[in-house]
Structure 1
Amino acid sequence: MERPLLVYTTFPDVASALNIGEALVRERLIACINVLPGMRSVYSWNGAIERGEEVAAILKTREGLAEALSAALKARHPYDTPIILQLPVAGADADTAAWILAETGLEPETPPAA
């Protein structure tokens, strides 16, 4: 059975995270996006130390969609260089995994009848 995959990214605001997330759900590239507002970041960009407020997001998908999801996320993302981190899932509840697979267009495997 294909394994679930979590993808971590950030957005400049809640609206862009939710709008892009909804588009990705509708395209069945992800089963869900969790948007976590209120994140503060300190980072190095173009040789300068920056501070800013961002929104963290966790996207739930499956390993087979990693490349397609990254491409779709980059195409829609407001940042020139969005953070896209793929976080492999070591284990998942069977029902959770089946839901993610079903919502991203892959039916879970069923054991053959005895």
Structure 2
Amino acid sequence: MERPLLVYTTFPDLASALNIGEALVRERLIACINVMPGMQSVYSWKGAVERGAEVAALLKSREGLADALTAALKARHPYDTPIILHLPVAGADADTAAWILAETQPDGSAGAEPQSA
């Protein structure tokens, strides 16, 4: 069975995170996006230390879609250089893994939805 993949990224605002996340779900590149607003970031960018409000997001997908998901995320992302970190999953509940795999199949063979994504 193909392993799940988590992708961490940030967005400038809630609307862009939700809109891009919904597009990726509809394209079956991800099964789910968890959006966490209210994050404050301190980071180095082009030689300066910056501060800003951001929205963190965790995307649930599968390893075989890593490249396609990265390309689609970059194409839609409002940042010039978005943070996109692939977080391999060492283990997962079998039902959770099966749901992620089913929801990211191109033929739409979706499985049962978990109670909490």
TM more than 0.5: yes
The amino acid across from 1:52 in the alignment is G
| Matched length | 108
Q: 1:6-39: per-residue Cα shift (whole Å, max 9, x none)?
A: 0000000000000000000000000000000000
Residues 1-114 of structure 1: pairs in structure 2 closer than 5 A: 1-105=1-105
- 1:112 is matched with which residue? none
Unaligned runs of 5+ in 2: 112-117
- SS of 1:18's equivalent in the other structure is helix
Q: TM-score, normalised by structure 2?
A: 0.90
Q: Which has the larger radius of gyration?
A: 1
The amino acid across from 2:58 in the alignment is I
- SS of 2:23's equivalent in the other structure is helix
Q: CA RMSD in A?
A: 1.3
- SS of 1:53's equivalent in the other structure is strand
- SS of 2:90's equivalent in the other structure is coil
Instruction: State the 1:92 CA deviation.
Output: 0.2
The amino acid across from 1:48 in the alignment is A
Whole-Å Cα distance in 2 between the matches of residues 39 and 89 of structure 1? 24
Q: TM-score, normalised by structure 1?
A: 0.92
